[in-house]
A and B are shown apart, each in its own frame.
Chain A
Amino acid sequence: DAGVTQSPTHLIKTRGQHVTLRCSPISGHKSVSWYQQVLGQGPQFIFQYYEKEERGRGNFPDRFSARQFPNYSSELNVNALLLGDSALYLCASSLVQLVGNEQFFGPGTRLTVL
């Protein structure tokens, strides 16, 4: 079975631009979470979606937004990119939103903002 997939793998943008990152969860998984991992640090929670509704939001500015589609895939959008947005963006999926459910992570999208 395919794991969590993310696209693109790498992305280079310039300041002020907009970016869309995509995530496909494991088949049957209904919950998707997004994390930002700056080099050398632990991931920081951005959003969680379950059944197409936002269920949690981290301490990120409104430039960050996300949505989940009927097939449970998800997009993370970042507007007005800043140099500090350069990071590895991780997507994780889980079967349901239960606290004990394991989150399976994708390989991430490496975003570089110049």
Chain B
Amino acid sequence: AQTVTQSQPEMSVQEAETVTLSCTYDTSESDYYLFWYKQPPSRQMILVIRQEAYKQQNATENRFSVNFQKAAKSFSLKISDSQLGDAAMYFCAYRFSNTGKLIFGQGTTLQVKP
């Protein structure tokens, strides 16, 4: 069965600095999507970035980028120039190739210090 593991329950970063959140997953599929979602205290889950497994190029969205290592089944999120508004719970998620089902990791709480 597919699983998603986030081994860092909590992380902290100084404002304007860079932080990397880790995620590993296990699957036997070759075609799938990976996502990072942000959930601030307001609870609304917001998509940060997505990666198609068939694409070798790492996805980038402004200050957010991923390091996708398909062979190692690793999918880390790098946040550059951290801002106070980045403070939230971050979830790594795997999406099956033929359904809309998302498998989420346990989450990493990111604290941004001024």
Contact = CB atoms under 8 A, between A and B. Distances in A.
Interface of A: 31, 33, 35, 40-45, 48, 50, 55-56, 58, 88, 90, 92, 94, 97, 99-108
Contact of B100 (A48, A88, A106): A48
Interface in B83-114: 91, 93, 95-107
Contacts of B107: 40-42
A88 B52 contact: no
B28 interface: no
A56 B101 contact: yes
Chain B interface size, as a band, is: 20 to 34
Nearest to A97: B100
A99 B102 CA distance: 10
A33 B43 contact: no
Contact of A43 (B32, B99, B104): B104
Contact of B50 (A48, A92, A102, A108): A102
B56 interface: no
B43 A107 contact: yes
Given A40-B107, A55-B100, 19 more contacts: A42-B91, A42-B93, A42-B106, A43-B91, A45-B102, A56-B99, A90-B45, A99-B32, A99-B33, A99-B96, A99-B99, A100-B33, A100-B52, A103-B100, A104-B47, A105-B45, A107-B43, A107-B44, A108-B44
B30 interface: no
A33 B91 CA distance: 17
Given A88-B43, A105-B45, A107-B42, A99 B103 contact: no
Contacts of A105: 37, 44-46
